[in-house]
Structure 1
Amino acid sequence: MSRDALIVGINSYQNLPDLGAAATDAEAMAQVLQTQGEFRVQRLPEVVEGQHLSIGQRTAVTTRALEAALIQLLKPQGNSVPSLALVYFSGHGLQREAGIREGYLATSDTNIVLGNFGISLSWLRRLLEESPVRQVVVLLDCCHSGALFNFKEANPAASEGYSRLFIAASREYEAAYESLSGHHSILTQALLSGLDPARIESGQISSHSLIDWVSHQLRSEIQQPLFECSGGEIILTRTAEFEQPVAKAKGSNLTHLKQLSYRFCPYRGLEPFTEKHADYFFGRDDLVQALIEKVQRSNFCAVVGASGSGKTSLLRAGLIHQLRQGRVPNSDTWEIRLLTPGKQPLRNLAAAFTSTSVNRIELAAQLSRAESLLRHSDTGISQLITKALTQHKTAESCPQFWLVIDQFEQLLTSTKQSEALQERQRFIHCLLTALCDPNLSFGLIIGNCSGGHEGSGLRTVSGS
């Protein structure tokens, strides 16, 4: 299950004064969450600058676009519900008096004269109450953002197993300010420093420690943030050392556990185990062995199970790790690429054929060429696989190319958008083309959610 973040920074306004720091604040937050929080970040507005994605300094964000992004994050369709959803907003905040006092997140097309105030915070509260996401963080760095707390409805995290963290820059009647001593607003500056996991010995920043830090940092400021924290602890960022595996001891699992001395709790809760966590991934040996046997017999294998049953951990910390260790003869020479379809499946598939050892300009060029081949050539994927194998081949090995696609169910959810449907169909067509090409050393492994109809266990399916 994923950790997803929507990062919004709006500088450009049609009917309000433009801002100077909102986009910069948002981009800084996006980078911290990506590098130290393991978040999948959606930027709004998103542009390509210097061959990488960033928050657009002068790009508009409409009310409709922000509303759709919030719904997609907090009430996603299908079974692809993230384990943690984070919303960060930096921009204008407005207040409206019409019998009741109500706060808004102003978007680029906000027009008070025409009655468009932007995103209503009362609407956002209702969306949060109905969200199936178990852990939600909302960080609002704008004027009047405290209006998010003005409600007497049931606490969104009152149900057992749900956790919420809300931080607002100011009370409902207060403005929010940029810092005079830095490049960021007062709140964002405190958040960025507070999210740095290197500042504490444990190397892990939680919702509780972030509140303590921000509260202490801003204790002498005129602008006082508001906090609401309920449910369990939410882990936000961690140091790289926190993820480093320890060399595995020989012997039984019990011997291994007795000899380990972790500086942290190895249990990841609802978070998936990855290759970095393989040394403390236990309990799936039989399933890993079954997968290895299927991979040896067939070029296609599917791992099917209910949401939260451990498919991602099995694939990443189990199967992929074992293959890279040479568990199958010569599998340590195979090209193994992992991806999730996401909202742009063809682009994410193209990214599997790029090299991380080149500079950003060449990487962007590789991505563009690969995506074009996949979209416009029936033999495009075969060409890409052949090229990848040719580059990887040595005199001592005959490598194979394996794609591991996690969360395959993202391709099977209902959609009314014809372009999205066509892209999904093209994605699947590419995979079938590669599987049916007798001249390719290609294999495909997918992880697919059963929608809970198969019970809580996992099962594997193979075929040719």
Structure 2
Amino acid sequence: MHATPAISSDVPNTRDAMPPDTSLRHVHLAFGRSVALVMGVNAYTRGIPPLNTAKRDAEAVGGLLETGHGFTTLVLRDENVTRERVRSMLANKLRDELGEALSSHDRLLLYFAGHGLSLPSDRGPEGQLLLADADPADTRTFLTMSELRKLLGGLPCRHVLIVLDCCFAGTFRWAGNRIDRGASGPAYRETLERFVKYRAWQVLVSASHDQTALDAVSTLRSNTRLSANDIGALAACRPEAASHSPFAAALLRGLQGEADYTKDGLIVAAELELFVRDVVERATGVHQTPQLYKLEQHDRGEFVFQVPGAPLDLARAPSLSMEACPYQGLRPYGFAERERFYGRARVVASLLSRVKANPLTVILGLSGAGKSSLLAAGLVPAVRALRDWTVIEARPDTTPEVTLRDRIEVPNSAGVDAGRTLLERITAWLSVHVSDQLCLAIDQAEWFEMLVASDVRDGVLGGLAQALEAHADRLRVVLTLRSEFEPVFRTSALAQFWDDAVYVVPTPAHHDLREIIERPARAVELSFEPSSLVDTLIDEVLQAPGGLPLLSVGLRELYIRCVTRNRDRLLTEDDYLRMGRLSGALAQRATALLQELVAEDAAYIATARRVFLRLVVQRDGEWSRR
């Protein structure tokens, strides 16, 4: 056991809040105690193959936590890591070892390096930790992951990080949800205050639920009663000459500061996972994949380390104002908002592959599916990032062929006839830019049908089809189109390209919606109160047709109410209920705007009626929104 360092007398007696930043000189001072229970088992006595690096890994991790991060470390090795001892220590909240039981003021890091197994159960794969006294002839001597979760669940600590370096460590994933991997931007003072104020219960594992974790092993003894598959799993950790397991080596590097991707002097658990995962996957050829999960006790906190020797010097978060609102409301995202266009990475990647492969790409969806934003803030930036690709954006008007042609500029100095038709203009442009690919991105193509006569529409679409036929290797056309207009376009001059062109915008998955909701808030250091409000919003969006506009309007309304309140940085459930949930937010906003106009001039009520009537049009005997 490492010597217990003296705890400074100026450690604040925190319960649920962090002290003012003027007194917080190190992250660990935000807690009564930072305690690490570190266990490493090399030697097994009952027929389980020994390991070479587990004990050394535990000692190195414990040492770094103590000297570099201010933890009181309790390091258990080999024969001291028994099932009964670990159960007793956790059940008693480390009272005997620390002299005082763990409390809500404290945080705990539990690290285990040793053997792990995955055995079948009625609830699916059940993870098992093999401590030093594990008997392969009796699985009751193993410490199950579920029992470990139960023991830890009895602890009052505000922050808990469990780190498991063993085979099949990912079976702990049944404890909670996966945490997104992306490292956020640099932390503000308010960010750190949130990290340490709220509960953070997280699990970092060295391997997925179906992966072994590498270390050195000896040959198996013959008296084991585990199945052949289980024996093979234990032996799969091939001999390594390194002094640490790949996971432990990466973890040590990360905790020394390399995981501080945002260079703010702090290492949050998500950054640590990102670093460790990348290093381990490269080192093992993706043999094992570290992952981060959150337990059911997790709230808005984050287990956080301070880079050893780095000062705590964080800027204040930006002031909240209407101009700084991170949500668009009913406005689509454009190229300027591309950096905060979250939750669509997979869709954009799929579209980009289509654009590279097909002459025509049609982004098809109902009104409110997010087609315009997907094009302007997602696909267009992705295509522009490609080498030797030029994107020209356009939107139909009452003279669509002239407008589209004139958007494709051919300089007079080029000495080339710019041409009068769309095909001639595209041909001229390509002859000047001999090494470039040209991508025409046309938003709201349904306006070709709604604004002009059918012969004009057919002329524009015919010109595009001719250009695609003539320059299939260097020209790409991307359209966004509302679903109800597809029959008109499918039978147009573009018909020959249509079947391979259509991409129906998918409904965002649960994790995509979470990113759409949380990432913009995180960028300006906003929180949801309670954190379960995010799940409530997701559930409502998934149940509502055209839910993305409602979500965007609702989030903007929550932000407006937060700014008006001007006393916290919270998007609250109380405000969500007062505004009538997402479904009521749009109606309330529209009513408020109309009332403002009518208060200025009563004639606006008639004007509003005429405007709304202009927003619908009759097509084929049915009403459709413009």
TM-score (norm 1): 0.45
- The structure with the largest helix share of the pair is 2
- Greater Rg by CA: 2
TM-score (norm 2): 0.34
Which structure would you say has the larger RCO, counting Cα contacts within 8 Å and 6 or more residues apart? 1
